[in-house]
Structure 1
Amino acid sequence: MVERDEAGEWLSRTGSEPMPSVDLRTDRAHPARVYDYMLGGKTNFPVDREVGDRILAEWPGSRTATRASRAVMHRMTRRLAETHGIRQFLDIGTGIPTTPNLHEVAQSVDPTCRVVYVDNDPIVLAHSRALLTSAPEGRTAYVEGDFREPERFLADPAVTGTLDFTRPIAVMLVNLVHFLSDEAAHPPVRKILDALPSGSYLALAAGTADSIPELVSVGSRRYSEAGIENHLRPRAAVERFFDGLELDEPGVALVNRWYPELDDEPALADHDVASYAGLARKP
């Protein structure tokens, strides 16, 4: 079931003003809601659960792979804040809030961290209050925006008023680009990076069939049958997103191999995961 906030209203990006009613488009599956279902969340509908159940029936380990792709975001955020001293984050394709959210991880390292969330899914907008619970010393904001039109959300007052574009910013693109072709995904990444100062970072995770091709292909096929575009990429194709940047160790790696020691969970094997992760600095 999808729930509204305590007052029974949709919330604005500041968390203080009611939003107009939004069409959640519950008649067709949505990748954010299928992802939420695979994570064990409750912000999904029968049409989303049907897709998830079809995948689980043929690939029982898909729920583990989904959780692994979420967990790497936590580790990337922690490494950016602890090791690289990043205090500003721009999270694009945020998805449905799932605790801990990015700002909770970043502000556990330094409560002054600032985070802007960007998404164009109306159900994320409906639940945006969960993304606006910043520590008093820091700040968070939510902006309704489309990754494919970065010039629009980068100019939004909520973005420019929260982030200082003269200081390094980490752009988080986690579990987003595999829903877009190369032709649709690469130009926005370049435009976003061009707008950021030297010392900024790109953190990206993307789906792949390299680790378990037969099983991951099942998930890809079920998504396609539900009308959800998806593009699984081999490692070399994921590395292309980091062209011109300085890759952090260990480079582009399967998510179970990307700093597993930063996680409290047991390490996973390659056959348990279905995505690559990479982190790189803008010179």
Structure 2
Amino acid sequence: MSTQLLPETLRKGLFRALLLLTFFIGAVPLHAQKQEAMKGAPGLTAKLINIESATNEPFRFSASLYNAAAYHQIYELKAELPAGWQISYRVDGSQVTSVNLAAGQTREIAIEITVPSNAPARKYIIPFKAVSSAQTLELQLEAVVKGSYGASLGTPSGRLSEEVTSGSHQDIELEVTNTGTLPLSSLSLSSQLPSGWEASFSPSQIERLDAGKKVGIKATLKVPDKTIAGDYSATFSLGGNNANAQAAFRIFVKTSVLSGWIGILTIALSVLAVYLLIRKYGRR
């Protein structure tokens, strides 16, 4: 039947009903979209999922955990690690193993992973999970081990003791070794000595030292005059951007032969002076 044959009032009613139906169909998904926007995007996310580091430097990730449910949840934090690896979680600066979240709440989780020094250099996939009674959220973290940094400071002979005369200087041969698998840069030498002592190094700076390589350093130790004979300790330190090392030396200070003779002569003159005084005034 043609709509032109319908009464005017019926045609107007059908048109109004069609408009209402169209509005209702469009409003339902729009309302759902608004509700979803209020909830936010549920899940577990991280700013960076791929981090490269050496074995002696921790991998630090930052994750965001969001509770999309309409009720409170407790999430237990878990990770699958290779043998010997360790992981810790911090929320607001406190170490935790689980996170308590109200409905719609988000918390930031600081994740720190430490790696054994002998871990092979390659990429490792670390499955990280936040598990509640109602859901399991998972994030794939990638830790790229690029190698290791390491250094040692000693002597070519391995001896860590020296003998020096009071008021003189002594040259000590040091040896710096790169014990890691990555090159070291900007290495410098320093010392901790008894008061008044001095030390200089040649060279005093190592710009680059490749893995497995060694370099010799001459340390010149100066001991002040009138230093009392005996055992002293001196520590030489190596510092750099990625590695540090120390070598503790035992230094035996002895007096010079000239100082010994001067001391003996002084004592003899003192004894002679006392003897002469006794002879002079002892007869009165």
TM bucket, shorter chain? under 0.3
Bigger helix fraction: 1
TM-score by length of 2: 0.19
* Larger RCO, structures 1/2 (Cα 8 Å, 6+ apart): 1
Structure exhibiting the larger radius of gyration computed from Cα positions: 2
TM-score by length of 1: 0.19
